[in-house]
Amino acid sequence: MSVFFNTSIARKISMALSAIFLMVFLLQHFAINFTSVFSSDTFNEISHFMGTNPLVQFVLQPILIIGVIFHFVMGFILEFINHRSSKVKYAYNNGSANSSWMSRNMIWSGLAILSFMLLHFADFWFPEIDAKFIQGDWEGGKIMVDGILTGEYRYFTELQHKFSYAPRVIFYCIAFCFLSLHLMHGFTSAFQSMGSTIGRKKVLLNLSYAYSICIPLGFVFIALYHFFNH
Amino acid sequence: MKLKLKIWRQKNSTSKGSIVNYDVDNISPNMSFLEMLDQLNSTLIKNDESPVAFDHDCREGICGSCSLYINGQAHGPDRAITTCQLHMRKFKDGDTIFIEPFRATSFPVIKDLIVDRSAFDRIQHAGGYISVNTSGNTQDANSIPINKTDADNAFDAATCIGCGACVATCKNSSAMLFVGAKISQYALLPQGKVEASDRVTKMIDQMDLEGFGNCSNTGACEVECPKGISLDNIARMNRELMKSKVL
């Protein structure tokens, strides 16, 4: 098994597995965020459940963090190996004649997503960790009065507050464009790396375009919706 | 036709090369690209200059030696051909043509446009064969029933001529289309299945040892392959490795 993970193909397969895992997570993340558009209560309830459920917090969240870190680290490792393999460049290369821009620039779209994630973590994840694990707020901002939890959950208010700042919304929108480009190649590429030719079939190609356009566009819509309705 | 050529000139494997400009005249549109280079070399020899070194052998698209990167594409702007099958009618009078050797760390330049592709031979030696006891009682391959789809796919994979266009085109200098084809041509046939596990491991190990990059599924290799080798062969290679190591 250890020999298997030393091969170039094993690195590809592990990259693809982490990509598929992250795409499933992204879909779930979008579904939850989208509830904020039509019901603040639903969004608050789901956010509270996800933020306090032990299975999500102590099992799924660490797996997600490992998945994200693994995907980025492996991406850099692959890029380093690929750079070493093709040190001397052509004086004239017509890359667009045989491949898409997205497929040739996964590292750049990936870096754009990474920079977005750093901001996203600073915006939402670190404050959430601080609130729960340092300040001990496991009730989502509600206060105990006479043995009864009163007030409102803080999640929706925080979301609206973050998206009231125009530069942040613009940055998010740009980052989602890069996410879309990354997914346009990454979606089908992951299946190919897993040894499946289904990624080249028309049905999956269409599904790939649908996913890589609709999900980032949906996130852009959520950000703009809250910016204009806060 | 009159053309401006920008050709990579490099004295030997250790020297530093550069692009040198040449003007050529009286080029017939019916000439093959290699014949155009022959004409340039005749002129250079007449002028006591060193001719441009380039690889060629069969000149009918079989040997895969004519490894040239023309105007930013392996084997030039046409599809499913080698350089020797490229004709000058694909260019216009007054065009500037860049001619470079295939670039990859694993394909070092020997001289001018000639690269050392022996890395492919070493990958093939590592496992790209079937061990057959030819003692006299070997079963006739034609007597073994093989379904049509597998036979066709194996044949398609076997049409790979090992020219290296896949490596040259790939932004990562990955050799996975070549190795995938060589693995597939055996993996699909009953004779090849016996050593399939060993073969895939050894060939991939050798490919990694040679320093080729990782496939990032851009699909450029498939587009530029003169024999139309499909990306499906890379997927099959990945499956074969998983089968040999995990299952």
pLDDT digits (tens, 9 = 90+) for A125-149: 999 999 998 998 888 888 778 778 8
Q: Cα-atom radius of gyration of chain B, to the nearest Å? A: 20
Q: What domains sit in chain A, N to C, each tagged with a CATH number? A: 4-84+102-229 (1.20.1300)
What angle (nearest 5°) sits at the alpha carbon of residue B219, between those of residues B160 and B60?
Answer: 30
Q: Which residue of A89, A93, A192 is in closest CB contact with B217?
A: A192
CB B215 within 8 A of CB A86: no
DSSP characters for chain B? --EEEEEEE-SSSSSPPEEEEEEE----TTSBHHHHHHHHHHHHHHTT-PPPP---SSSSSSS----EEETTEET-SSSS--GGG-BGGGS-TT-EEEEEEPP-TTS-EEETTEE--HHHHHHHHHH-S-----SS-PPPGGGS---HHHHHHHHHHHT-----HHHHHSTT-B-HHHHHHHHHHHHTSHHHHTTHHHHHHHHHHHHHHTT-B------HHHHH-TT---THHHHHHHHHHHHHHT-
Confidence (pLDDT) at A143? 78
Residuewise pLDDT in 10s, chain B (247 residues): 999 999 999 999 999 999 999 999 999 999 999 999 999 999 999 999 999 999 999 999 999 999 899 999 999 999 999 999 999 999 999 999 999 999 999 999 999 999 999 999 999 999 999 998 778 888 888 899 999 999 999 999 999 999 999 999 999 999 999 999 999 999 999 999 999 999 999 999 999 999 999 999 999 999 999 999 999 999 999 999 999 987 6
Task: Grade residue A150 by pLDDT with cuts at 50, 70 and 90.
Answer: confident
A92/B71 touch (CB, cutoff 8 Å), yes or no: yes
The verdict on A105 touching B (C-beta cutoff 8 Å) is no
In a mutational test of the A interface, the residue from B123, B172, B234 whose CB has the highest number of chain A CBs within 10 Å is B172
Going by C-alpha positions, the residue among A207, A166, A164 that lies closest to residue A187 is A207
Q: What CA–CA distance (Å, rounded) separates B233 from A78?
A: 21
As a whole number, mean pLDDT of residues A36-62 equals 95
* B173 contacts on A by Cβ (under 8 Å): 82, 85-86
Answer yes or no: is pLDDT of A4 > 60. no
Distance from CA of A27 to the nearest CA of B (A): 23
The verdict on A185 touching B (C-beta cutoff 8 Å) is yes
B238/A200 touch (CB, cutoff 8 Å), yes or no: no
Distance from CA of B136 to the nearest CA of A (A): 38
Confidence (pLDDT) at A224? 97
Give the CA distances from residue A139 to residues A128, A131, A157, in Å, rounded to whole numbers and listed in that order. 12, 10, 15
The B residues from 79 to 108 touching A (CB cutoff 8 Å) are: 98, 100, 103-106
CB B175 within 8 A of CB B119: yes
Residue A102 dihedral angles phi and psi, to the nearest 5°:
-60, -45
B217/A85 touch (CB, cutoff 8 Å), yes or no: no
Q: What CA–CA distance (Å, rounded) separates A149 from A61?
A: 26
Global confidence as pTM: 0.93
Per residue in A57-114, pLDDT (tens digit) is 999 999 999 999 999 999 999 999 999 999 899 999 999 999 999 999 999 999 999 9
Q: What CA–CA distance (Å, rounded) separates B38 from A51?
A: 72
Q: Indicate if ipTM > 0.85.
A: yes
Q: What domains sit in chain B, N to C, each tagged with a CATH number? A: 3-111 (3.10.20.30), 118-245 (1.10.1060.10)
Q: Say whether A2 sits in a helix, a strand or coil.
A: coil
CB B78 within 8 A of CB B123: no
Confidence (pLDDT) at A80? 95
Confidence (pLDDT) at B133? 78
The verdict on A96 touching B (C-beta cutoff 8 Å) is no
The verdict on B20 touching A (C-beta cutoff 8 Å) is no
Going by C-alpha positions, the residue among B163, B184, B180, B170 that lies closest to residue B223 is B170
Answer yes or no: is pLDDT of A2 > 60. no
The B residues from 217 to 246 touching A (CB cutoff 8 Å) are: 217-220, 223-224, 231-232, 234-239, 241-242, 245-246
Answer yes or no: is pLDDT of A3 > 60. no
CB A16 within 8 A of CB A97: no
The verdict on B197 touching A (C-beta cutoff 8 Å) is no
Q: Cα-atom radius of gyration of chain A, to the nearest Å? A: 20
CB B31 within 8 A of CB B85: no
Beta bridge pairs of residue B18: B9
B217/A193 touch (CB, cutoff 8 Å), yes or no: yes
CB B214 within 8 A of CB B64: no
Average pLDDT of chain A, as a whole number: 93
Q: Whose structure tokens read 């036709």?
A: B1
B218/A99 touch (CB, cutoff 8 Å), yes or no: yes
* Residue of chain B minimizing CA distance to A98: B220
* A100 contacts on B by Cβ (under 8 Å): 218
Q: Which two tokens stand for residue B148?
A: 């049509």
B221 residue type, one letter: C
Confidence (pLDDT) at A145? 80
Q: Which two tokens stand for residue A207?
A: 């599904």
Q: Say whether A143 sits in a helix, a strand or coil.
A: strand
The verdict on A71 touching B (C-beta cutoff 8 Å) is no
- Cβ of B66: how many Cβ atoms within 10 Å? 25
The verdict on B214 touching A (C-beta cutoff 8 Å) is yes
Going by C-alpha positions, the residue among A48, A15, A33, A155 that lies closest to residue B238 is A15
The verdict on A2 touching B (C-beta cutoff 8 Å) is no
Cα dihedral B107→B112→B114→B116 (10° resolution) = -30
